[in-house]
A and B are shown apart, each in its own frame.
Chain A
Amino acid sequence: MAGHQHNFDPHACAEFNHLSRRQFMQTSASAGIGLTALAASAPAWLPRVSLASSHRSGMRDVMISLYLRGGIDGMSALVPYGDQYYYSARPTINVPSPTSGAAQRAIDLNGFFGIHPGMANLMPAYNNGHLLFLHATGSTDTSRSHFDAQRSMETARTGDPNAGTGWLGRHLASITPMDPNALLRGVGIATGLQKTLAGAPLTLPIPNLDNFGITGSAGTVIARSAVLDDLYEGTTDPLKTVAFNTLQTIDLLNTINFSGYAPGGGAVYPTTSLGVALKSSAALVKANVGVEAIAIDVTGWDTHNAQGVLTGTFNTIISDLANSMAAFYTDMLSNANNPTFAMVAASEFGRQLNENGSAGTDHGYANMMMVLGNCINGGQVIANWPGLGPGQLFQNRDLNVTIDYRSVLAPIIQNRLGNANLSTVFPNFTPQALNVLRC
């Protein structure tokens, strides 16, 4: 069965999925008695079905992809306070230097870059060497269009507007499952699957992991599910595969008590949609059911107007992002037996160097990235800083790209996600060597 997953066509798996689901139902039934004993000693949020950690092979990280949609102003997050032109271009929209004495000022990282004060809760991860910052990163898409730039970055097939699969989707499709019995390998916390994950087998968009079940009478839900199961067996893909994946995922997620999940290490997640999504993701990852990738959208970054770097919109959402990431980090590293992970936060483009007349910033080019995880070579800023001065900008207005985002992801895909087929994930691309990993 495992070999089946080598198939690159996600729609070809319906028959397999169907069989798998029915086998799962039978397995669950036969395992039911033994699990009662397990449940007595295990935390309540652990799966009640025996998809035990012994199924998990190797030491792969779970990939958490955070997409910062709208184009985050990376220079307000990872602040190049050492570049004099930053402050001249941003007279009213800037984060003061760490040495400025301002009440709200950047937290120094390396004498040139600092982070926004709202990101203070990420400093433990940085100081522990688990959080890496990069700057002047981006893709080869120079359109300054949200939609073009997102599509380009998520599909990693620049110049192909019809690319139907995403880089993370192709990754999952081109390796054997981490857990050969997995019913769900990828999740998009979304109502429509992100292009990043398109093409991934056993992958669904699930807006709320804690609320995924069939409504109506409890007395007939089994019979009605069986009807749906049969109806969709008779139809074509993609709905056929989606329906089977959905039915088996309902069963799978029902074995995990998300609402009762207790984070480790005293981690406190924000009650925002991002905080909830990451908390549920931690519960799902720790449940060891074979999920290998989770994609989460973080929105609100298209700050053309009243950006509010220190006291408004940007401050609110950058703090939420940092606090949510920090809670996930604390939670996942609270126990050495927890699965390992790699989390990447990226955005379609950065914003123009000069602020506009609306106390905001328009679309630009290069941006910062954040990478967090057990084996990330953190505690540093990787940048080949092109400068913000005259003659140094892209098209005389934007921070230029000096690190392709794929070079950041490539070593993670190869060494932490166990995929030797980098050319499948990133066609026609040779990554630049970067010190992204320490193990």
Chain B
Amino acid sequence: MLASPHLSRSVSRRGLFGSLIGRPSAGYAAAAAALASLASTSEAEPVTNSVEADPNALLNKLIRRTTFGITQADQARAVQLGYAAYLEEQLNYLSIDDSAMDSRLASYTTLNMTVQQLLALAANQVTNELIEALILRATFSKRQLFERMVEFWTDHFSIDINVQLCRYLKTVDERTVIRPNALGSFPAMLHASAQSSAMLLYLDNNTNIAASPNENYARELMELHTLSVTGPYTQNDVREVARCFTGWTFGAPGSGANAGVFFFNSGTHDNGQKTVLGNTIPAGGGMQDGITVLNILAAHPATANFIATKMCRKFLGENVSQSVINSVAAVYTSTNGDIKSMVREVLKPNNLATDYGPRHKRPFHHFVSAIRGTGSTVTATSVMRTQLNAAGNLPYNWGPPDGYPDTLAYWNGLILPRWNWGASMATNAITGISFPVETFFAGMTTSAQMLDKINAAMFGGEMPAAERTRLQQYLNTNVGNATTRRETVGLAIGAPSFQWY
């Protein structure tokens, strides 16, 4: 962040505001009137107010809700296919050719390494590739809905890579738990997570032994992964589930090919009888105890309701109705937790057409959507990662096991990093990110043309008129100047309507 302008800026800004207040220009007055008009008509969702009436608006909303930021390419594809077919294409993500993405990630060799191979490397190489690959996939993968689901499950089964060996093990968790199941089976993902060394370490189950159980994984398994905190479990259930998972651990570093690899240690397992949520788990079950617990939890109605609630809130809005949640939970139950079927239910046109409150981009989403909307290129992400960290949203860096918050109430207060992302990124001040302003505005000479382009490329054509007017006014101060054009795009990234999706 630049510190230099502080003194001089504060002096000259006073002059500016003084003159604005004393002698408002015609342009300023017009903009103010337009903004006031917008304020009086705009309801909860600033981006669109007439989703129900306009099928193209609904299509736009589908794109906004299922991507990391709308692009003209997304729009063209959605218009070509129509709502249902576009959604099906995104749900059947393996059918989408993403070979360019795969090629691009080919050099990220750590993504496919075993723990033994990873442990031979510097931890920051491993975590840098892990985070950078996630950024690149979110930005450039054509499988956008799949990447949104990866984000969803990364939060749901959150692991902080700052915890000891998690900086190595999370790469394997991402590869074997999250990505194979993100649009697959929830029970399969739950079972995979329970055997993920990263999760076992993060929640201390690797030291959960019969002689003296460690309750951490057992509690969070029920509170955060399945039943939810309002679920029907007691402290006694926590203790019993912990007993069931005694001995679920992984090979220590230094154990060769077994390093970081899950194994069941029968010698530290509690072989007595347990009772979990009223179910008797007979003595001598060994590893089956834990598997039985996972099956009980995956089949529980409280789990169906919890997963459905989180999914509905993510895609439809924080105020989603319980009846919609119930319908998605019913799909969970009838399909044994098939995620694709649940997402399809969530994104039914009637659900999406209903206003359940606006969705506010988290900083990661906002940053990525700016890159996508401006057609910028990414060759390095270290500075971007620093900025994400400053904004409080660097992937895999949320300390507690509940994952990054997904609420407007949490994120709305810190707006400055969003403004600064626009100001810096659009002026190529973020090393490794390049906004091709000449290409973006190719063949354009007037500010009206350029605002049309900004609106079409970044806002799906839905930019509020007042925002457009004010940005055009800024661009008009020096429309022929490339820096002014860049700054205008930067302000568009910071604009109110770009904060929502």
Contacts of B288 in A (CB 8 A): none
A29 to B10, CA, bound (A): 9
- A222 & B16 in contact (Cβ 8 Å cutoff): yes
- A224 & B491 in contact (Cβ 8 Å cutoff): yes
- Judge whether A360 is part of the interface by a CB distance below 8 angstroms: yes
B window 173-200: CB within 8 A of A: none
- B11 & A32 in contact (Cβ 8 Å cutoff): yes
Query: B21-62 toward A: CB 8 Å interface, digit per residue (1/0)?
Result: 100000010011011101100111010000000000000000
Interface size on A, residues (CB 8 A): 74
The smallest C-beta distance from A129 to any residue of chain B, in angstroms, reads 36
Please, which residue of chain B has its CB at the minimum distance from the CB of A357? B212
Query: A351-380 toward B: CB 8 Å interface, digit per residue (1/0)?
Result: 000011110101100000000000000000
- A222 & B12 in contact (Cβ 8 Å cutoff): yes
- B211 & A357 in contact (Cβ 8 Å cutoff): yes
B window 362-414: CB within 8 A of A: 390-393, 399-400, 402, 405, 408-414
Chain B interface secondary structure, helix, strand, loop or mixed?
helix
Contacts of A29 in B (CB 8 A): 11, 14-15, 18
B window 401-436: CB within 8 A of A: 402, 405, 408-416, 419-420, 423-424, 427, 429
The smallest C-beta distance from B325 to any residue of chain A, in angstroms, reads 15
- Judge whether A145 is part of the interface by a CB distance below 8 angstroms: yes
- A224 & B214 in contact (Cβ 8 Å cutoff): no
Are A227 and B471 also in contact (CB < 8 A) when A233-B32, A305-B204 are? Answer: yes
- Judge whether B495 is part of the interface by a CB distance below 8 angstroms: yes
- A243 & B415 in contact (Cβ 8 Å cutoff): yes
A395 to B238, CA, bound (A): 13
Query: B192-228 toward A: CB 8 Å interface, digit per residue (1/0)?
Result: 0000000000011001110111111001000100000
- Judge whether A339 is part of the interface by a CB distance below 8 angstroms: no
- Judge whether B490 is part of the interface by a CB distance below 8 angstroms: yes
- Size bin of chain B's contact surface: 35 or more
The smallest C-beta distance from A399 to any residue of chain B, in angstroms, reads 15
A363 to B16, CA, bound (A): 56
Q: Which of B402, B409, B484 has the most CB of A within 10 A?
A: B409
- Judge whether A420 is part of the interface by a CB distance below 8 angstroms: no
- B14 & A216 in contact (Cβ 8 Å cutoff): no
Q: Which of B28, B219, B390 has the most CB of A within 10 A?
A: B219
- Judge whether B467 is part of the interface by a CB distance below 8 angstroms: yes
- A226 & B46 in contact (Cβ 8 Å cutoff): no
- B413 & A192 in contact (Cβ 8 Å cutoff): yes
- Judge whether B257 is part of the interface by a CB distance below 8 angstroms: no
Chain A interface secondary structure, helix, strand, loop or mixed?
loop
Are A205 and B413 also in contact (CB < 8 A) when A228-B419, A230-B31, A254-B6 are? Answer: yes
Q: Which of A32, A144, A211, A216 has the most CB of B within 10 A?
A: A216
Contacts of B209 in A (CB 8 A): 357
- A358 & B427 in contact (Cβ 8 Å cutoff): no
- Judge whether A26 is part of the interface by a CB distance below 8 angstroms: yes
Please, which residue of chain A has its CB at the minimum distance from the CB of B4? A218
Select which of B31, B216, B405, B473 is within 8 A of A304 by beta carbon: B216
The smallest C-beta distance from B419 to any residue of chain A, in angstroms, reads 6
Contacts of A246 in B (CB 8 A): 415-416
Contacts of A70 in B (CB 8 A): 400
- A234 & B9 in contact (Cβ 8 Å cutoff): no
Are A144 and B21 also in contact (CB < 8 A) when A215-B1, A224-B474 are? Answer: no
Contacts of B230 in A (CB 8 A): 161
Contacts of B423 in A (CB 8 A): 214-216, 224
Which 10 residue pairs are nearest across A and B when measured between Cβ atoms? A191-B392, A357-B212, A234-B35, A218-B5, A29-B14, A358-B207, A216-B423, A235-B496, A222-B13, A192-B410
Please, could you name 26 A-B residue pairs with CB atoms under 8 Å apart, sorted by A?
A25-B18, A143-B229, A144-B235, A144-B238, A146-B402, A192-B414, A206-B414, A211-B1, A214-B420, A216-B429, A217-B487, A220-B487, A221-B5, A222-B9, A224-B474, A227-B473, A231-B35, A231-B471, A231-B494, A231-B496, A233-B39, A254-B7, A302-B216, A304-B204, A357-B211, A358-B207
B residues near A (Cβ < 8 Å) are: 1-18, 20-21, 28, 31-32, 34-36, 38-39, 42-44, 46, 203-204, 207-209, 211-216, 219, 223, 229-230, 235, 238, 390-393, 399-400, 402, 405, 408-416, 419-420, 423-424, 427, 429, 464, 466-467, 470-471, 473-474, 477, 483-484, 487, 490-491, 494-497, 499
